[in-house]
Chain A
């Protein structure tokens, strides 16, 4: 009568390797080792203002590579916006790449689809602070008391993106996406260190939220729109969702191919 599940516990660490997933990984390798959604390449490529190298996700994000990939794998219908305007999206997409840039260790936030992840999160419960206490009265609190504002995350993002462009214009006479990488870093630093004078939101509070959601987008299950093809996990040897580590827990480091919740779903 007690709920036991002997059947499940008998499964080895790598439960199954669906052929579709293998196919996706292989497709990624074909275009140069960086797995990137065709939609990112398309968006970046069709932005006439976006000439700066720093804003390109990777060489594979050029329209031609995007096209080649589109032919090689099914279209990713997740690559559209629920909350941001396309302009807001481009700003966030540029900012998260500075926080988590592509480097020798692997893809950056753009290639992982982090800005899509943030867009999708803001469209739902998290963006509305749905499970948080948002009842009045609102008073200015001490730091130790945490966030006491009346604005919801989606409102904060909307204001902050506008203010990032305002600050970029004031400092460099361009919008954020059109700045060179080191200029973008300066803008983000000014927010991080509260050097931007705002009456609406806390610049550092926004920066913390942007940084935290960048890591969430890089490393959450791909079902949420980031961590594209588990490339975030692969970069740090995280095996994702596995049924059991009984055989490796007392062993030295063991590389295990990652598996996502979708694979787990198929197992039931």
Chain B
């Protein structure tokens, strides 16, 4: 028998970036909010021993414990889905701050093209440019409508950067100047300019200087220590929810966080949620938390899984294309790149920051003519200097054995002399890529695991080959002694790290037939349930997702405050 607690105005499921933003905005709006987080408390002081590549990068200290919960994966519907038993392709966050703790801090806005991708593609190239089965759709919100929310997120997080000449219009400059340009970045910049491309410093959530944000939160400048992705920041220089929005919510006195609380069902009756049921993982006790409004802010897979397990919304059916929960899963096409080996140059590659880098978007979105290529959209091309730690970085020229004397000599020789220019490719949705519930495998509570059905398509292979050539052109201009181009894109494999940019499944849109939430992230089929995250993306752009997730969270908070006053569907 589950214990029932007193009712709250709002219950938030998962306290990461989206949950933290929602908590800060709603409590400031006067609502009484409880945040349920399955993981533990996290704070800056946890990271004094963080410069430990083995513990954090190789053994995944900050990530979800897969022995308790994972996803299953198959490439297509004819294959038996099997559990992701160990980490590889993507890393699931856990604890207060969620994936917002272990991110790199690269904070890009999506392009105006992204929000109207279907209309704009048809307008320029005609309907036949979109292949059969590719389910791109407009987002039901435009770049101009998103702009104020992007601006708000960037000021809160203190993004350091400079305007991207090929992106949408900005209402104001980034709140901080770009980070310092390291010699590899200078080489990239000179090469790109010679090729008449448009490089700009990567928008960074690692602060370029000490900064106090509009909420009054002060944080120290980044020290370029080289431990960002997979690590927490010991300085608080990398924006994360723990050092930004969560303290703001707590300060109101209206935000209660309950850690070790695994939400297992959204409770609902007559098309409206009544609260959630969760398990206190320290005692095993099941608890009901009633609330007027339920906000789903867990990671992509659990946003989808909880809706499906709770039988809320219409599940996606890949045969008919009807229903939307689980639809349009997309990822990132990350494997187009060129590595340059510099025989007579040595760099400080041990130093860096998660978003120390330079990008160009000449080949992203619809910034170039796609008439003669067999793909739509594109990729952001960049050089990054995230700090090349020694276990994870042993790049040797092609043809070198992978172990033994020659390998060792080459890996030591190039430890500070190999640079990579890489393409972060967009990922389009397909009718047969989706997330549903696995028929076999369960989590530690006996609940069913989410099942992922996904593979790379010809679109992705064409895009990768094209981008690899562009990366190699830049690397050649940078003066590398030897250049290795990435191999052609094979099948999607869940075993090697690519990016934690999983998207889709609870997508935003303008119609209940083709989307789960409206442009306030309110569920069409349950007006007091809001679902927020990269799970809202109908496709994934050639950029990191966090800026867009943050902007959507600010947009949703406005909607929730409106709903709390007047009720009803907001769109």
Residue positions of A touching B, CB distance < 8 A: 1-6, 8-9, 98-101, 103-106, 108, 125-126, 129-135, 137, 139, 141-148, 185, 188, 192, 211, 214-216, 218-221, 224, 232-233, 235-246, 248-254, 256, 261, 264-265, 268
Give 20 new A-B contacts, CB below 8 A, not counting A104-B409, A130-B67: A2-B244, A3-B44, A3-B243, A5-B236, A98-B403, A103-B409, A105-B408, A131-B59, A133-B66, A135-B67, A141-B82, A143-B493, A145-B82, A215-B391, A221-B54, A235-B412, A236-B390, A244-B225, A245-B352, A246-B222
Q: Is B219 an interface residue (CB 8 A)?
A: yes
A1-B247 in contact (CB<8A): yes
Within 8 Å by CB of B86, from A9, A99, A146, lies A146
Q: Is B492 an interface residue (CB 8 A)?
A: yes
Cα A256 to Cα B442 with chains together (Å): 49
Q: Which residues of A contact B84 (CB under 8 A)?
A: 133, 145-146
- On whether A144 and B85 interact (CB within 8 A), knowing A4-B219, A216-B391, the answer reads no
Within 8 Å by CB of B235, from A5, A101, A145, A250, lies A5
Q: Which residues of A contact B237 (CB under 8 A)?
A: 9
Name the segment of B72-80, B136-144, B297-305 touching the other chain. B72-80
Q: Which residues of A contact B181 (CB under 8 A)?
A: 250
B82-A139 in contact (CB<8A): yes
Q: Which residues of B contact A146 (CB under 8 A)?
A: 84-86, 88, 493-495
Q: Is B223 an interface residue (CB 8 A)?
A: yes
Q: Which residues of B contact A129 (CB under 8 A)?
A: 67, 85-86
B251-A264 in contact (CB<8A): no
Cα A4 to Cα B239 with chains together (Å): 12
Cα A135 to Cα B53 with chains together (Å): 28
Q: Which residues of A contact B223 (CB under 8 A)?
A: 9, 243-246
Closest chain-B Cβ to A51's Cβ sits at a distance in Å of 22
A6-B70 in contact (CB<8A): no
Chain A, residue nearest B417 (CB): A253
Chain B, residue nearest A109 (CB): B408
B348-A248 in contact (CB<8A): yes
| Chain B contact residue count (CB 8 A cutoff) | 81
Closest chain-A Cβ to B39's Cβ sits at a distance in Å of 13
Within 8 Å by CB of A5, from B44, B59, B88, B441, lies B44
Closest chain-A Cβ to B31's Cβ sits at a distance in Å of 21
Residue pairs across A and B with Cβ atoms less than 8 A apart, 20 shown, are A2-B236, A3-B45, A4-B235, A98-B403, A103-B408, A104-B409, A125-B59, A146-B493, A147-B86, A216-B54, A219-B391, A221-B51, A237-B416, A238-B389, A241-B52, A245-B224, A245-B225, A245-B350, A249-B224, A256-B350
Chain B, residue nearest A227 (CB): B390
Q: What per-residue 1/0 map shows which CB atoms of B406-428 lie under 8 Å from chain A?
A: 00110111011000000000000
Q: Is B49 an interface residue (CB 8 A)?
A: yes
Q: Which residues of B contact A104 (CB under 8 A)?
A: 409
Of listed B66, B70, B440, residue having the most chain A CB within 10 A: B66
Q: Which residues of B contact A188 (CB under 8 A)?
A: 403
Within 8 Å by CB of B351, from A99, A131, A248, A265, lies A248
A250-B75 in contact (CB<8A): no
Chain B, residue nearest A128 (CB): B67
B88-A137 in contact (CB<8A): no
A261-B390 in contact (CB<8A): no
Of listed A108, A147, A220, residue having the most chain B CB within 10 A: A220
Closest chain-B Cβ to A38's Cβ sits at a distance in Å of 24
B351-A220 in contact (CB<8A): no
Cα A265 to Cα B50 with chains together (Å): 11
Residue positions of B touching A, CB distance < 8 A: 43-45, 48-49, 51-54, 58-60, 65-67, 70, 73-75, 79-80, 82-86, 88, 180-183, 210, 217-226, 234-237, 242-244, 247, 251, 346-348, 350-352, 356, 389-391, 394, 402-405, 408-409, 411-413, 415-416, 440-442, 491-495
Q: Which residues of B contact A3 (CB under 8 A)?
A: 43-45, 236, 242-243
Closest chain-B Cβ to A185's Cβ sits at a distance in Å of 7
Closest chain-A Cβ to B127's Cβ sits at a distance in Å of 33
Closest chain-B Cβ to A230's Cβ sits at a distance in Å of 11
A4-B348 in contact (CB<8A): no
Q: Which residues of B contact A241 (CB under 8 A)?
A: 51-52
User: In the complex, how many residue pairs between chain A and chain B have their CB atoms under 8 Å apart?
Assistant: 215
Chain B, residue nearest A144 (CB): B493
Q: Which residues of B contact A224 (CB under 8 A)?
A: 54
Q: Which residues of A contact B415 (CB under 8 A)?
A: 236-238
B75-A9 in contact (CB<8A): no
Q: Which residues of B contact A265 (CB under 8 A)?
A: 49
Of listed A5, A148, A232, residue having the most chain B CB within 10 A: A5
Within 8 Å by CB of A101, from B51, B66, B346, B408, lies B408
Cα A126 to Cα B391 with chains together (Å): 16
Q: Which residues of A contact B394 (CB under 8 A)?
A: 215
Closest chain-A Cβ to B86's Cβ sits at a distance in Å of 5
Closest chain-A Cβ to B238's Cβ sits at a distance in Å of 12
B348-A211 in contact (CB<8A): no
Chain B, residue nearest A149 (CB): B85
Cα A197 to Cα B412 with chains together (Å): 34
Cα A254 to Cα B182 with chains together (Å): 12
Q: Which residues of A contact B348 (CB under 8 A)?
A: 245, 248-249, 251-254
- On whether A238 and B346 interact (CB within 8 A), knowing A9-B221, A98-B404, A147-B86, the answer reads no
Cα A241 to Cα B67 with chains together (Å): 30
Chain A, residue nearest B85 (CB): A133
Closest chain-A Cβ to B384's Cβ sits at a distance in Å of 13
A144-B492 in contact (CB<8A): yes
Q: Which 4 A-B pairs have the closest CB atoms?
A: A245-B351, A244-B223, A241-B51, A236-B415
- On whether A268 and B391 interact (CB within 8 A), knowing A2-B217, A6-B220, A101-B408, the answer reads no
Closest chain-A Cβ to B460's Cβ sits at a distance in Å of 14
Cα A268 to Cα B44 with chains together (Å): 14
Q: Which residues of B contact A238 (CB under 8 A)?
A: 350, 389-390, 415
Of listed B65, B412, B491, B493, residue having the most chain A CB within 10 A: B412
Closest chain-B Cβ to A219's Cβ sits at a distance in Å of 4
B218-A132 in contact (CB<8A): no
Cα A129 to Cα B183 with chains together (Å): 41
B51-A261 in contact (CB<8A): yes
Closest chain-B Cβ to A223's Cβ sits at a distance in Å of 8
Q: Which residues of A contact B408 (CB under 8 A)?
A: 100-101, 103, 105, 108
Cα A233 to Cα B251 with chains together (Å): 44
A2-B243 in contact (CB<8A): yes
B74-A135 in contact (CB<8A): no
- On whether A1 and B251 interact (CB within 8 A), knowing A132-B66, A236-B412, A250-B181, the answer reads yes
Q: Which residues of A contact B347 (CB under 8 A)?
A: 252-253
Cα A251 to Cα B347 with chains together (Å): 8
Q: Which residues of A contact B440 (CB under 8 A)?
A: 137
Closest chain-B Cβ to A190's Cβ sits at a distance in Å of 14
Within 8 Å by CB of B219, from A2, A185, A239, A256, lies A2
B404-A185 in contact (CB<8A): yes
Cα A184 to Cα B302 with chains together (Å): 48
Cα A106 to Cα B405 with chains together (Å): 11
Cα A219 to Cα B411 with chains together (Å): 12
Cα A148 to Cα B412 with chains together (Å): 34
Closest chain-B Cβ to A207's Cβ sits at a distance in Å of 9
A236-B416 in contact (CB<8A): yes
Cα A38 to Cα B237 with chains together (Å): 43
Chain A, residue nearest B387 (CB): A245
Within 8 Å by CB of A221, from B52, B79, B80, B493, lies B52
Closest chain-A Cβ to B229's Cβ sits at a distance in Å of 16
Within 8 Å by CB of A133, from B70, B217, B225, B244, lies B70
Closest chain-A Cβ to B100's Cβ sits at a distance in Å of 15
